[in-house]
Amino acid sequence: MSEFRRPVRRPSASFDNFAGSAGAAEKSRIAHATAAALVARARADESGESTERLIAFTADHGLDEIAELWSAAPAVSLPGALWRLYLLQLAIHTDPQTAALLYERGRIELASADVVVAGAPAPASPDELVALIDQILRGAFRGDFAIALERAAAFCRVHASGATHVADDYEMTEPERASELTTRALRLSTYAKDLTACASAWRAGILT
C-alpha cells in the first residue's frame, strides 16, 4: 500500500488459461462486454441486491481474472473506469487509517471544491472513508454514473494533495517514505484525470 500498488488478489490460474488462446483483440472485446453487462445488470435490478454483491465482491474474492483483464483496458473506457473505481475501493478498505490521514491533510491543504464534490465528512474517520468509497461505487451502479466518477476523481485529488504534503514532511528525515508517497500522489492524480475523462465520455454517450 505504501506505493498505492494495485491491491488485488492474484488468481490461481491466469486469464490466458481461463480464456484459452484469445488474442489481445478478443480480450479487449471480453473486457468491454463484461463491464457493460455488470453495469446493465446492476441498473436493471431494482432491488439493489446485485449492486450490493458487486460492492462486497472485492472484500470476499479480490478481482481475479476479470479484473486482471480490465487492468489492460484503455483508461478512458467503461472497463477502465470500473477498474479504477475498484482499485480505489480496495486501497481504502486495505488501509483505511492511512487513507484517512492523507485525505484529511489534503482536505486542509487543497483550495478547491474537490472536498465538497467527494462528499466525505470533515474530518473523515477511517470507517467513514470506507463508507464513502462504497457509496461512490454504489452510485456508479445505481445512480448517475458520471457523477460517481467525478466524486471518485475529486477524492483522488484530495488524497493526492495529502500524499504530496505528507511526502514533503518526510523529505529530510525519511526520503524513502517520501518517495513512496510522491509515487502514490502521482498515481492518484493520474486516476483523477482518467476518471474525469471517463465522466465526460459517459455524458457524451461514447464511454464503452
* pLDDT at residue 199 tops 50: yes
**Calpha distance 39→47 (Å, rounded):** 14
Please report, for residues 10, 75, 136, the alpha-carbon distance to residue 156 in angstroms, rounded to integers and kept in the order given: 25, 15, 12
More confident residue, 10 or 45: 45
Go through the chain and tell me how many residues it has.
208
Q: What are the boundaries of each domain within the chain? A: 15-203
Side-chain-facing half-sphere of 105: CA atoms under 13 Å: 18
- The residues near 92 (Cβ < 8 Å, ≥ 6 apart) are 99, 129, 130, 133
pLDDT tens-digit series, residues 72-121: 899 999 999 999 999 999 899 999 999 999 999 999 999 999 999 999 99
Compute the average pLDDT of residues 138-154.
Answer: 96
Please report, for residues 62, 138, 199, the alpha-carbon distance to residue 42 in angstroms, rounded to integers and kept in the order given: 19, 10, 18
What phi and psi, each to the nearest 5 degrees, are found at residue 77?
A: -160, 165
| pLDDT at residue 66 in the model | 63
* pLDDT at residue 160 tops 80: yes
If you average pLDDT over every residue of the chain, what do you get? 87
First vs last C-alpha separation in the chain: 30
**Calpha distance 39→70 (Å, rounded):** 14
Compute the average pLDDT of residues 47-74.
Answer: 80
74, three cell numbers: 484503455
| pLDDT at residue 54 in the model | 87
Please report, for residues 62, 80, 166, 172, 179, the alpha-carbon distance to residue 83 in angstroms, rounded to integers and kept in the order given: 12, 5, 27, 35, 25
119, three cell numbers: 462528499
pLDDT tens-digit series, residues 5-24: 444 443 333 323 333 445 78
Q: Which amino acid is at 53?
A: R
Hunting for cell 486482471 — which residue is that?
Answer: 68
| pLDDT at residue 74 in the model | 94
Compute the average pLDDT of residues 34-43.
Answer: 91
Rounded to 10°, the helix 78-94/96-109 angle is: 110
